[in-house]
Amino acid sequence: MVQAADKKILRELAKQTAEVAALPVQEEKRALWRALNGLKPVRPMVMIDQVCWHEMDVAGELALRCVSPEVRAYEQFLRRQLYQWRHFRVDQVVEPFIRVPLAIHNSGFGIQVEEEIAVGDAANDVVGHAYINQFARDEDLKKIQMPVIRHDAAESERRLEQAREIFDGLLAVVPWGSDPYLSVWDPISTWMGVQDILYALIDRPDFMLALANRMVAGYMSQLDQLEAQGLLCHGQSLIHCTGAWTDELPADGFDPNRPRTRDLWMFGLAQLFATVSPDMFETFEIETSLPLFARFGLVYYGCCDPLDRKMDAVRRIPNLRKVSMSPWVDEERGAAEIGSHYVFSRKPNPALLAAPSFDDQAVRDHLARSVSVCRRHGCPMELILKDISTVKYEPQRLWRWAEIAMDVVQS
């Protein structure tokens, strides 16, 4: 049972959310995202994600008031969504439902991260990591186990019943299965450390290929199990930090009780390969991950890794639709490589929000350059502001960034 006071708080937030979700602009924004993702954009789209929420509170808008730790997750989600709608909505879509994660247990690869952490701001969950290498010897490859997926159906039903009790008549309750995050190299970086990985790619290439291939085999097994048990999600609103609305998914033959990987977007990346050669990137990342990419209906590739010099390899990805262009790319070269074939997913530099003072004109010029480059090369484009570690405890900087961005893309 949910405590009466907690339920009252959540139902008030749900009521506000339902009112926003019912506005005609929500479907207008979905249509704009579908057009972009279909490579027939009306205009560039804008999203903001990975926000330094510990710096955002104004007048208690984000303060959590529920007592139960379990329902505070719903409260936090609703408060943040409404806050964003009020202050920096850009092309956000507010959905008329609440997603309830199913009780899916993944045994993982059997490796526990060993690390030292450096904290700059105790209120910030962005910290420094020094990882200890657990794969210094070839025989360490045996440490990697194959994931086992198990579903606690009774616990899932309990969660769903609780959500229905809270949100009945206000927001639909949607069971939410696994939305796979399948980076091969991000987990390895936490088991070895980036520097040791980069040396090992040179000194122990056969071992590193074996390590990557074992990871891919584990992910393939994991996906097989999720499909067989009907535990994948479907109907994604976001893929990573970008709008996922599309007319191309789910695929033909879709069964909502048995979603398949080909009904979904996949997000792939290898950020630590930012400094390796295009050939090494193709060998260790693209070639090894092709079986994963091929399973999915659409693929969004890249994150902070600069890909403007690696598009020959990136183009090998099956069903590729969006390519990240990070703050460190040559935008002209990236746009020429992407053309009209993929979405140019531009990641503006969040450092402009962390400067000693906020410079409106610098932000406007930075965004306008990206839009101009894509216009010249005929690139469908989106601006995705993310990795916002700080706004110097001035949330109005982010609000102003949103206003400038929407002005630029609508000009």
Domain boundaries, the chain: 4-410
pLDDT of residue 119: 76
Alpha carbon distance 34, 340 (integer Å)? 16
Residue 275, token pair as written in the block: 């400094």
CB atoms within 10 A of CB 340: 13
Kindly indicate the confidence band of residue 409, based on its pLDDT and cuts at 50, 70 and 90: very high
Q: How much is the average pLDDT of 52-75?
A: 96
Residue 3, token pair as written in the block: 């405590």
Alpha carbon distance 213, 365 (integer Å)? 43
Chain position carrying tokens 């399973």: 295
Burial (CB < 10 A; 0-12, 13-18, 19+), residue 360, is exposed
Whole-structure pTM value: 0.95
Using one digit for the tens of pLDDT, what is the confidence trace for 66-106? 999 999 999 999 999 999 999 999 999 999 999 999 999 99
In 126-263 the beta strands, taken as DSSP E runs, fall at: 128-131, 149-151, 172-176, 238-239, 242-243
Alpha carbon distance 408, 373 (integer Å)? 13
Q: How much is the average pLDDT of 139-166?
A: 97
Kindly indicate the confidence band of residue 130, based on its pLDDT and cuts at 50, 70 and 90: confident
Which of 92-96, 135-139, 380-384, 399-403 is predicted least confidently?
A: 135-139
- Encode burial over 237-270: b for 16+ CB neighbours within 10 A, e otherwise: ebbbbbbbbbeebbeeeeeeeebbbbbbbbbbbb
Question: Residue 395 above 80 pLDDT?
Answer: yes
**DSSP 8-state symbol, 287:** H
The secondary structure of 313-355, three-state, reads: HHCCCCCEEEEEECCCCCHHHHHHHHCCCCEEEECCCHHHHCC
Alpha carbon distance 120, 123 (integer Å)? 9
Using one digit for the tens of pLDDT, what is the confidence trace for 238-278? 999 999 999 999 999 999 999 999 999 999 999 999 999 99
309-311-312-315 Cα dihedral, nearest 10 degrees: 170
Using one digit for the tens of pLDDT, what is the confidence trace for 321-350? 999 999 999 999 999 999 999 999 999 999
> Any residues with CB less than 8 A from the CB of 338 and at least 6 apart, and which?
311, 323, 325, 344, 377, 379
Question: Residue 403 above 90 pLDDT?
Answer: yes
- Encode burial over 63-81: b for 16+ CB neighbours within 10 A, e otherwise: eeebebeebbebbeebbeb
Question: Residue 51 above 80 pLDDT?
Answer: yes
Alpha carbon distance 354, 254 (integer Å)? 45
In sequence order, the β-bridge partners of residue 381 are 344
Q: At 387, which amino acid appears?
A: D
Question: Residue 126 above 80 pLDDT?
Answer: no
Kindly indicate the confidence band of residue 50, based on its pLDDT and cuts at 50, 70 and 90: very high
DSSP letters of 186-209? HHHHHHH-HHHHHHHHHH-HHHHH
Judged by DSSP in three states, 238 sits in strand
Rg (C-alpha) for the chain, rounded Å, is 22
Alpha carbon distance 191, 136 (integer Å)? 10
Burial (CB < 10 A; 0-12, 13-18, 19+), residue 88, is buried
In sequence order, the β-bridge partners of residue 174 are 99
Peptide bond before residue 250 is cis, with ω within 30 degrees of 0 = yes
Helices vs. strands in the chain: H and E counts, helices first: 13, 14
Residue range 4-410 in CATH 3.40.50.1820: no
CB atoms within 10 A of CB 411: 8
Measured N-to-C along each axis, helices 287-295 and 205-228 cross at an angle, to the nearest 10 degrees, of 10
If you average pLDDT over every residue of the chain, what do you get? 96
The answer to whether the CB of 50 falls within 8 A of the CB of 241 is yes
Question: Residue 169 above 90 pLDDT?
Answer: yes
Number of Cα atoms under 13 Å in the Cβ half of residue 22: 9
